[in-house]
């Protein structure tokens, strides 16, 4: 991908990503159009298609990619190319996880969000959790599934932070952009280490994020 710049110094890639960010928040038909344009920037057709499919998926953690990969990378000389590579890797990881959630678990009940539902679905919020996603923005954790649960093999390395991507957030953290919510896509079968992270830990590590009841 060649990151050509316009007169303002913004690359075509960055411009389209910004359009996608706005479109995903309002979730209109234009998301499909913009995602295809972004995918078309990649020389490898299969890679471009994966990126396009991921961006048009309602639950793709797009804003986290922008925060942790594009904005961080853009300060470097080769940052845009690196961000494009990160987006390709994240897209592949997301689509693979999405497929295996459907294959091995019930995508309507494995988490607090219906993964077959739409952007306006009503989310049942926890007593204290605000779904800010801050606690899941880390490089990895202990992949210890609940008793009786067996993950697909590669999930263990992804949870531990050993995916093909330099992880800045858990790859199982999904997004509902129109409601500005972030949620664990495997909440009901997530690692015991994650289950043990409760209100007290949130208050200590992320002041002001706990819901006031």
Please write the tens of the pLDDT for every residue from 69-118: 887 665 666 788 999 999 999 999 999 999 999 999 999 999 999 999 99
- Domain residues for 26? 12-104
| Whether residue 100 sits in one domain with residue 138 | no
User: 16 and 86 in one domain?
Assistant: yes
114 within domain boundaries: no
Whether 123 contacts 58, CB under 8 Å: no
Provide the whole-model pTM: 0.91
Question: Which of 61, 85, 104 is at the close of a domain?
Answer: 104
Same domain, 18 and 98: yes
82 falls within a domain: yes
Q: For 121-173, write each residue's pLDDT tens digit.
A: 888 776 889 999 999 999 999 999 999 999 999 999 999 999 999 999 999 99
Q: Determine the pLDDT at residue 7.
A: 38
Contacts of 94 (CB under 8 A, 6+ apart): 54, 57, 60, 61, 171
Residue written as token pair 């606690």:
135
Quick check: 8 pLDDT over 60?
no
Task: Kindly write down the DSSP assignment for every residue of 112-130, as one continuous string.
Answer: SS-TTS-TTPPP---SS--
159 and 84 within one domain:
no
**Residue 166 maps to a domain:** yes
Domain count, the chain: 2
DSSP category for residue 134: G
pLDDT at 119: 87
């Amino acid at each position: 991908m060649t990151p050509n710049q316009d007169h303002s110094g913004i690359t075509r890639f960055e411009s389209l990503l910004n359009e996608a960010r706005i479109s995903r928040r309002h979730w209109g038909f234009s998301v499909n159009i913009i995602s295809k344009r972004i995918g078309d920037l990649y020389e490898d057709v299969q890679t471009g298609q994966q990126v396009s499919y991921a961006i048009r998926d309602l639950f793709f953690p797009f804003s986290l990619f922008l925060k942790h990969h594009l904005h961080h990378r853009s300060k470097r000389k080769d940052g845009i190319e690196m961000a494009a590579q990160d987006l390709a890797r994240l897209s592949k990881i997301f689509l693979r996880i999405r497929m295996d959630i459907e294959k091995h678990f019930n995508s309507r009940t494995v988490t607090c969000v219906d993964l077959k539902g739409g952007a306006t679905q009503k989310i049942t919020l926890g007593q204290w959790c605000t779904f800010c996603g801050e606690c899941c923005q880390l490089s990895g954790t202990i992949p210890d599934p609940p008793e009786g649960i067996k993950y697909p093999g590669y999930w263990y390395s992804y949870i531990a932070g050993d995916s093909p991507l330099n992880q800045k957030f858990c790859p199982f953290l999904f997004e509902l952009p129109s409601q500005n919510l972030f949620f664990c896509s495997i909440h009901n079968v997530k690692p015991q280490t994650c289950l043990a992270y409760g209100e007290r830990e949130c208050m200590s590590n992320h002041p002001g994020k706990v819901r006031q009841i």
